[in-house]
Amino acid sequence: MPIVKAEDLEELTGRIFAARGVPREDAAWIATLLVRANLRGHDSHGVIRIAQYVTSMEKGTTKPTPTIRVLNETPTTAVIDGDQGFGQVVARRGMELAIEKARAQGLAAVALANTNHVGRLADYVELAARQGMIGLMWVNAPLALGVAPWGGAARRLATNPHAVGVPGRSGAAMLLDFATSVVAEGKLRVKFNRKEQAPPGWMLDGEGHPSTDPPKYYAEPRGSLLPMGEHKGYGLALAVEVLAGILSGTGAASAKVGPVRNGTLMVVIDVRRFLPLEAFSRQVEDLFTWVKSAPLVENSKGILIPGEPEARTEADRRANGVYIEDETWAQIQAAEKGSTRPSPFQG
């Protein structure tokens, strides 16, 4: 069970993709985001994805050198065709374009089609927050479903995450980023690779019965994740299908099955068009101080602002290294040697 330093893990990850024809700068960016997910405590979106991405490249569903094109552009909107490139590369381009348009116009919406798994949404809305802008982002995956609708017992939706990045005085003041299922599917992958049980309330087995056994999610008949917050997470997931799937041209969830294609919508709002950044930051800080002043319930670990748990984990893991389960490490070593280890995960 290796514990690896972040710099070493980034170097190794970048090398694996560069060796497969991904341009060096893109490979380094993909590596930065994967390792950042581990550092921020979301191992579900970290180096566990190397095997998925390598398999996807081998199948030809991820192109190392895509021709990314901007379609249907106006001063405030754009649709980008990612040409089946790495999601990390296409989504960075999309967010940079949205920030540029929002700086010029105050508000921008950029949609991405033909794009592979973008990973953690927080990293992109943080790019906007670092520029004094609010970043919003939604993502669907219409060919790779895993979530039951509220009241249903089989997969009809993807985990359809939702993210909001709020600017602060230095960096982001808040990074809210969650799947609209109880947890991201990758959290089941981590449990699967660690041979651990899932907590009750995460999933149903293939017969629609509550289960805590991750292999039952991946085996036929396939199990499903439950929506977070009952009907509310389900409703939000449906909204994400419309915003990220239909609007981007990627499409909404249906009976079609295929590789992970993240339909994506990014909205960026320039705070300075509404009020001075200083007044905005002061009010955000007052809000957080007020919320944190509530008395704590018994055994509470404290009141946190979204993004704070990840910042704490990052400080710890940067200092002490990233723990990687044996199965994931074996997959990474196989990828480094140019082979692949069979994986039950869809990619």
Q: What is the nearest approach in angstroms of ligand NAD to the Cβ of residue 320?
A: 20
**Residue number with CB closer to ligand NAD (44 or 131):** 44
User: How far apart are the C-alpha atoms of 243 and 236, rounded to whole Å?
Assistant: 10
- Cα-to-chain-centroid distance, residue 167: 19
**Identity (one letter) of the amino acid at 51?**
A
Q: What is the nearest approach in angstroms of ligand NAD to the Cβ of residue 339?
A: 26
| Residue 140 DSSP class | E
Rg (Cα) of the chain, in Å, rounded? 20
**Residue number with CB closer to ligand NAD (18 or 172):** 172
The dihedral sign for the CA sequence 80, 46, 227, 299: negative
**Residue number with CB closer to ligand NAD (13 or 262):** 262
| Residue 113 DSSP class | E
Q: What is the nearest approach in angstroms of ligand NAD to the Cβ of residue 325?
A: 17
The SS3 of residue 111 is strand
**Residue number with CB closer to ligand NAD (90 or 184):** 184
The token duo for 19 is: 């060796």
Q: What is the nearest approach in angstroms of ligand NAD to the Cβ of residue 149?
A: 16
| Footprint on this chain of ligand NAD (rule: CB under 6 A) | 42, 44-45, 117-122, 139, 141, 159, 161, 163, 175-179, 183-184, 187, 262, 304, 306-307, 309-310
Q: Which residue has the tokens 């990390």?
A: 88
User: How far apart are the C-alpha atoms of 250 and 94, rounded to whole Å?
Assistant: 15
Pairing of strands 172-178, 224-225: unpaired
**Residue number with CB closer to ligand NAD (276 or 344):** 344
Cis check: omega of the bond before 64, within 30 degrees of 0 = no
Q: What is the nearest approach in angstroms of ligand NAD to the Cβ of residue 39?
A: 12
The dihedral sign for the CA sequence 46, 48, 50, 52: negative
Q: What is the nearest approach in angstroms of ligand NAD to the Cβ of residue 200?
A: 16
**Residue number with CB closer to ligand NAD (36 or 101):** 36
**Residue number with CB closer to ligand NAD (259 or 306):** 306
**Identity (one letter) of the amino acid at 7?**
E
